[in-house]
A and B are shown apart, each in its own frame.
Chain A
């Protein structure tokens, strides 16, 4: 039994179904990643879990109890950051921490200690008296995380935490989240930046067309849907019709000037393709065999569906 269980959850806005009979089990002390294309219902799922949206059908349990019954105690143990930085720009780093600490019902002493500890943890100690609006993008995201952690939550829910960040900042945030998890905090994270999820998450839930299509580790997903390897081929003319016809390719896609072929017999198929290219006297630019990335798995999964 996970720390949070979502059972047969359906959420509608008027007649528009956002989540349809969703089931999800969040194991304790793990990082759960929820991936899905924009509009797949990731944020709605998180907001429903924290009780911001009412459930139309189904149940959500926290430590085995319905969240409607433990709303207040659950709130004390959950931290949340939304897609946008959610703190007060006109307050300093420390003031933001003190404010949220007080709202979480911490004593002044706990607020003080936790603030010091968490600011050190997220490396914001030196800028604690700086107005939040004057922090850099990465610092602001770290402050957002720090505010969500002021009460040392057991579960940290992060909605697209690496969104709109440059690669170095994304790495920075991913590392912080890993550190948080190592301290025993269960993390639920949504993202459409699959590389981050791949690097970060123990378990991944694929949300597609209002449902959880699959839940498991990255390796599980690869095993399930990544049996086929990928052949990436590029020729000068970028005309792949003859290759597709003579190699009898079934599962492929054209991406810019490149042909990507999904197959279980990568070496044999590549050999055939190279033979056709040679016969046709085409100029080969590039050829490679790869294991599929999470993105590619996700793409394959959603495409297959």
Chain B
């Protein structure tokens, strides 16, 4: 232990007494994170140039171009489609946008984007921004049109509502007439038209009078007259009865007609009610819902505002990877090629003691650098960092250990700082390319994707991302942690084997 402390003490003195080393340890990460912070602490897309071409610009296409300009894009009208596409190839512009001639709402038309697919990340970023601008404009236009339709519908509703009272009044009148008819029918039915002329008495009287000469002619005439009168009355009654029946028949017909009309009126009233209700439904729907009934809204699961917050985990692992590997390999090679190496070798100190001391020195230096980075990052992730500091520290120590051991192996294998640095950078780039930093790992073929998922850089990046941004507990990643632990054990064994193989002594 005494020897370990002595070697560590020596390492730290050498690092801190060399101004450039001390600056790199403290100011390096500080400067790096500040530069990155300044560069990425924004959500805007600066410096993107868009070329546009249309055989004939309309007011609509011009207004779209104006919108693009407002979004901090540099928009340039180009004289031909070919020149526009050629502009992308020559790097003058990033996207070429072709508007159809006289683009209008009536005619419609496709707006075509030409992009440079070799710059995938930029393409997606720009297309996303362009779609957003054009989508917003399209929505604005659709909203105006829909609003007009809704205004018309509202006018129709108002008219129908006005006229529905007339229908109600018709229904009331119909009912009133119906009642009156019913009264008439009832009154008519109550009229007694039962009348039968009983002429027997008169006949008897006539018979008696005929037999009795004493009944003068005048009486007979009067009886005849009465008989005639009665017959006439009988006839009139018959006529009345017939008229009554006719009237009742007509009244019933009217009633039937009224009942039928009433049902029509009700049907009309129902229809009006239904129309009105449907119109009200349309009215109660917002214009936005009609324009985009299925609106797609991408909601981030975190509330980060700038790109720095999203790239921070990747940047941190990137720094950890390169600093750990470079520092460890350089320290190993420097020690190995140093003039003091032989003097260290001749001391009765095991190479394992040197290994342990150098490892602890490396990890402490990287942790100092991480502390500096965290100090600055605290500004951006105050709550997140405080909440996850324990998990973050554990993960970072594991990741740092993996990369330091890897750097020490490289340093033990290579004999000069130059070749060691090249090897370190090459391995670092392999890790970087087979992670999600350049292209999403999901875009790789199955086999490579499976292998890449075991890339310690990718694993560290994923862990830090999920812990820092989503505050997920470490218990969810036990498998990844076990794999990292396995790497550490494997690398330690490899390092000892490499050290023994490259050792020049007995």
Interface residues, chain A, with chain B CB atoms under 8 Å away: 47, 50-54, 67-68, 71-73, 75-76, 78-82, 84-88, 90-91, 95, 98-100, 102-105, 131, 147-148
Complex CA–CA separation, A84 to B17 (angstroms): 22
Query: Out of B3, B339, B506, which one reaches A68, CB within 8 Å?
Result: B506
Complex CA–CA separation, A187 to B344 (angstroms): 20
Complex CA–CA separation, A98 to B504 (angstroms): 26
Interface residues, chain B, with chain A CB atoms under 8 Å away: 2-3, 6-7, 9-10, 13-14, 17-18, 339-349, 504-506
Which of A82, A85, A98 has the most chain B CB atoms closer than 10 A to its own CB?
A82
Closest chain A residue, CB of each to CB of B350: A72
Residues of B within 8 A of A105 (CB): 3, 348-349
Closest chain B residue, CB of each to CB of A85: B339
Complex CA–CA separation, A78 to B349 (angstroms): 13
- Chain B facing A: main interface SS: helix
Residues of A within 8 A of B13 (CB): 88, 90-91, 95
Closest chain A residue, CB of each to CB of B353: A103
Query: Out of B18, B347, B505, which one reaches A90, CB within 8 Å?
Result: B18
Instruction: Given A90-B17, A91-B14, decide whether A147 and B506 contact each other with a Cβ distance below 8 A.
Output: no
Residues of A within 8 A of B340 (CB): 86-88
Residues of A within 8 A of B7 (CB): 99, 103
18 intermolecular pairs with C-beta atoms under 8 Å apart? A51-B505, A68-B506, A75-B346, A75-B348, A76-B348, A80-B343, A84-B339, A86-B340, A86-B343, A87-B340, A88-B10, A88-B13, A88-B14, A90-B14, A103-B3, A103-B6, A104-B348, A131-B17
Complex CA–CA separation, A52 to B344 (angstroms): 11
Complex CA–CA separation, A73 to B10 (angstroms): 24
Separation in Å of the A154 CB from the closest CB of chain B?
Answer: 13
Complex CA–CA separation, A71 to B169 (angstroms): 123
Separation in Å of the A49 CB from the closest CB of chain B?
Answer: 11
Complex CA–CA separation, A193 to B506 (angstroms): 31
Are the C-beta atoms of B505 and A147 separated by less than 8 Å? no
Complex CA–CA separation, A115 to B174 (angstroms): 129
Complex CA–CA separation, A79 to B17 (angstroms): 28
Complex CA–CA separation, A223 to B164 (angstroms): 146
Are the C-beta atoms of B3 and A50 separated by less than 8 Å? no
Separation in Å of the A98 CB from the closest CB of chain B?
Answer: 7
Complex CA–CA separation, A80 to B2 (angstroms): 22
Separation in Å of the B1 CB from the closest CB of chain A?
Answer: 11
Are the C-beta atoms of B10 and A99 separated by less than 8 Å? yes
Instruction: Given A84-B339, A85-B339, A86-B339, decide whether A52 and B10 contact each other with a Cβ distance below 8 A.
Output: no
Are the C-beta atoms of B6 and A98 separated by less than 8 Å? yes
Are the C-beta atoms of B506 and A78 separated by less than 8 Å? no
Separation in Å of the A160 CB from the closest CB of chain B?
Answer: 13
Query: Out of A90, A91, A100, A102, which one reaches B343, CB within 8 Å?
Result: A100
Separation in Å of the B331 CB from the closest CB of chain A?
Answer: 14
Separation in Å of the A193 CB from the closest CB of chain B?
Answer: 20
Are the C-beta atoms of A82 and B345 separated by less than 8 Å? no
